[in-house]
A and B are shown apart, each in its own frame.
Chain A
Amino acid sequence: MGKYIVRRLLISIPVLFGITIIVFGLLQIAPGDPVSGMIDPTIGNFDADMIETEREKLGLNEPLPVQYFFWLSRVLRGDLGYSLITQKPVADMIGIRLWPTLKITLSALILSTVVGITVGIISAVYQYSLVDYISTFLSFVAVSLPGFFLALALIYLFALRLDWLPTSGMVTLGQEPSLWDEIQHMILPVSILGIGSAAPLVRYARSSMLEILSQDFVVLARAKGVREWVAVLRHAFPNALIPLITVIGLRLPVLFAGSVIVEQIFHWQGLGTLNIWAVLNQDYSVLMGLNLISAILVLSANLLTDIAYAVVDPRIQLD
């Protein structure tokens, strides 16, 4: 097991390098002087001499490959440069936005996992029943609905018409902060992200469960007179979950991408709104920092998924 984890970590290293090379490459083609994003703006006025010494210090007068290693060593120390607009360190700007985004994406991941697997399993157990047809159809609709349209429709219904939930924001302004208030603000964004993400899971859960249900050990369990729900829930269900681990892990990048739109609509102060802000203000150092962070988060999620899979499935050859 330990050996497998080490090997899996080793495979991730070239990928991590690849990610940094792409981000560095994109920084190079960004318009404007890439230097301005690297120099600490608190140093003072930029006169030509000062900039020249800074360039020298940052290795920006070196050839590109050398510049890359200078840049990489700063990144590895958590220094992502400075915003071209606010002049704050990019790492700080991303840091304060990270938790709000994780809050809705992880909640959506949990919601979609529970809903997706439950519906998928029920669909499989009652294959070709009305429930099966309805859930299959609805999962198709949910995959096809653009998140922003669903969001607008739900805001229209639940916030504007019924007035049950707030239209946007993370908390009610000018009100004592409370957990319930926070939850109310999370319901719509999390549901929208969750619905879109649950839909593909329904399909996978259904086909995984169908495959397991037809296997000999389930047939045997039934043959020896085990009650139907025991056969389904105790014998089949845990085995149907194993292949779903990978699918759930792969939802994370999709959720991150989806949160850009959802955050924008709900004025949610996370990485997504920061992303759009950076694009509209052409703040390329922030934009690249965001790409780097989200790629690294996804890479770590993939790593965890693979390790979880190996832990759960004894059939995986570990060496």
Chain B
Amino acid sequence: MTLRASGDAPLVECRGVSKRFVRPLDLAARIANRFGGDMRDEVVHAVDRVDLAIDAGEVVGLVGESGCGKSTLGRLAVGLMEPSEGERRWRGTSLAGLPPAAARELQLKMQMIFQDPYASLNPRMRVVDIVGEAPVAHGLIRAHQQTEYVGLQLNRVGLDPTLMRRFPHQFSGGQRARIGIARALAVKPEFLVCDESVAALDVSIQAQVLNLFMDLKASLGLTYLFISHDLGVVRHVADRVVIMYLGRVVESGPAVDLFAAPNHPYTQALLAEAGSVEARKRTFVPIRGEIPSPLAPPSGCHFHPRCPHAMPRCRAEAPPLAPIGPGRMSACWLNEPDADPAAQ
């Protein structure tokens, strides 16, 4: 992902970030180990040495199935979580070791819009406080300006400002999604991470919210990391697409090229499964197997147990993410010149 068109430093960059969740051994296991047991900490590599660079004004779609680490990567990118390894950069400067005041100010530039419009709004707060709390707390506006300011924010996302004294439960799902967007935009961010932000919405409402995202991008010059499992949505909004499988990036590239000619077998399988309205009665060809547990990922390439082209090498060694074309990268041994898919 270091291959980029522009020479400027990317707006947001994650370099070799990993996130491990560890469950330490309990007392019984530690005692068992004392007596020669072989118990280890349970470690989940939610994100495993991922590089991600997003240019200003770009929309990057992050795609994967549940448990692949896409939400964790989104949270790392926005700074909700500290990476176990690797560093984050904003416009080329490392975010590690910044003085707290500067870090807080930078943090305002990055905001997140969450998946569940029901769970991400405090049910006991009025909309005016949900949207207006952060700008007041961070000194962007004075407390007496809050009503007026929130009115502007609500207008921008297509909500009636006269509803600002209401509570979240008085709104429909689509309206709640808009409140979540207004809250994120209220602190004037430059970078938004949208984590499955339209997944819970009906199709007709989803179209309205996606249009709103694109209007806001045009009017405010926003940069998005758009996390979704819905390939149709990602194909529509994203300039560039990153595909994750079990904590690793398996393929990335410009959306048009990637959807036209997916390289990695997993991407190919995903695209084959993705339903389309165009399709008439068709035969579903299932991809084999289950998504493995991230607690015990397969050796070598994580996808090999489900891959139709798996070779002995795939079981032993994890393929590196290597360039395969202009702006495109893929992690698959099949792209090696000496690869022989016939060899089982």
A and B: real partners? no
The chain B residues found within 8 Å of chain A, CB to CB, are: none
